[in-house]
Structure 1
C-alpha cells in the first residue's frame, strides 16, 4: 500500500470523527435533558432523609428515685433521691438486705444494697428498728425538728428512733448511707 492511501484514510477518519463527535455529544446531552439522569420522576421524593432533625439528647442523671409517686401511693414510703446503690426490694431472708421496721407498717421494709457505697434520701415515719447487713450503715432521723444519726450494727438489729430515744419520741427515717 502506498503512503498516500494510508495518509488519505487517516485524514478521512479524522474528518469523520470531527463531524460525528459533536453530534454524539449533543445526542447524549439531549437524552439526559429529556429522560433525566436515569432515575424515576419521583426519585427526589424518595431521597433518603435523616430520621431526626437533630442528634439524640444526653441522658442526665437527676438522682430522683424512679416511680416514687407510685411507691408512695402503694406503700406509704416516700423515696426521694439516691445513687442507685440502695433500692427498695421485696423482703427475702438470707439476701443481705437492710430491714427497716416502722410502727406504720405491718411488715419490714427491705432494701438491697450494692457497690462500695450508697445513699438514699427517703421518708418513712415511726421507724423503731433496723437490721443491718454486711455494709457499714448510718441513718439520719428526725423528730420535732431535731435530727439524730444512728450507726446500724452489721448483721444485727439496732434500736433507732423511738426505741433509742430517752423520751420515747416518734422518729422519721430521712437518709440511709452505706459503705464497705
Structure 2
C-alpha cells in the first residue's frame, strides 16, 4: 500500500509539474494586441491638460512635478499666486498675465512663455513667499537664471535697466 501511495503521489507531482511547464511555455494561440498590454507605470511628468491650456490661453506647459499649477489669473491682484507678465496677449484673460500656484514646500515646472518682462513671487505683505528661481532664454540662446523676489516683482528681459533682450521663460523652481 505504501508503494502504491508513493507511486500515485509521484505521478501526481509529475503531472502537475508538466502542466505548469506547458502553461508557462505554451503559446497563447493568438498574438497580443496593444489593447491587451498593460499601460506603462512610468511617470513622464507631462503637464496634464497642456494642449487645452495652449489652445485657449496660449501658454505652453511642458512638464513638472505637480506642485506648481497653472491657474487662471483673477481680474484683480492675486495674492498667493506667482504672476508672470508677458508683452504678448496671452493668459486666461488675454492680458499677458499668467498665474501659478505652488501647492507644496517645493515645486518644479518646465514651460515656455515668450516675451516675459516680469515675474512676481507668491508672497504677500503678511505671508512669506516661496524662494523662486526662473530660467530664461533670449532669441540668441543666452540662458540666465534669476532669483525672483518672493514678495514683489522681479524685472527681466526688456524691463531691466538697461533694457535687455526679449526673454522666454523656460522653467520655474520653488522651495521654502
- The two structures share one fold, judged by TM-score above 0.5: yes
Once the two structures are superposed, what CA deviation does each residue of 1:24-62 show, in whole Å capped at 9, x if it has no partner? Answer: xxxxxxxxxxxxxxxxxxxxxxxxxxxxxx896564321
1:61 aligns with 2:43: yes
Q: Matched residues in 2 for 1:71 and 1:108: separation?
A: 14
Q: Distance in 2 between matches of 1:108 and 1:94?
A: 11
**Which TM-score applies when normalising by structure 2?**
0.66
Equivalent of residue 67 in structure 2, options 85, 89, 99: 85
2:147 is the counterpart of 1:178: no
For 2:32, the equivalent position in structure 1 comes to: none
Structure-2 separation of matches of 1:81 and 1:94: 24
Question: 1:138 corresponds to which residue?
Answer: 133
Unaligned runs of 5+ in 1: 1-53
Structure 2 residue ranges without an equivalent (≥5):
1-35, 90-94, 123-128
1:141 and 1:154 map into 2 onto residues whose CA distance is 17
Q: Give how far 1:123 is off.
A: 0.3
Supply the RMSD in Å over aligned alpha carbons.
1.9
Number of aligned positions between the proteins = 127
Shift of 1:132: 0.4
- Partner Cα distance (1:168, 1:161) in 2: 5
Higher Rg of the two aligned structures: 1
Query: What residue number does 1:23 align with?
Result: none
Cα distance per residue 1:43-85 (max 9 Å; x no partner): xxxxxxxxxxx89656432100112122111111110010000
How far apart in 2 are the matches of 1:145 and 1:79? 20
Q: Pick closer, same or farther for the CA change 1:74–1:57 going to 2, 3 Å.
A: closer
Residues 94 and 73 from structure 1, CA distance in 2 versus in 1: closer, same or farther, beyond 3 angstroms? closer
| TM-score (ref. length: structure 1) | 0.65
Q: Report the 3-state secondary structure (helix = DSSP H, G, I; strand = E; otherwise coil) of the residue aligned with 2:104.
A: coil
Q: How do 1:106-125 and structure 2 match up within 5 A?
A: 106-125=95-114
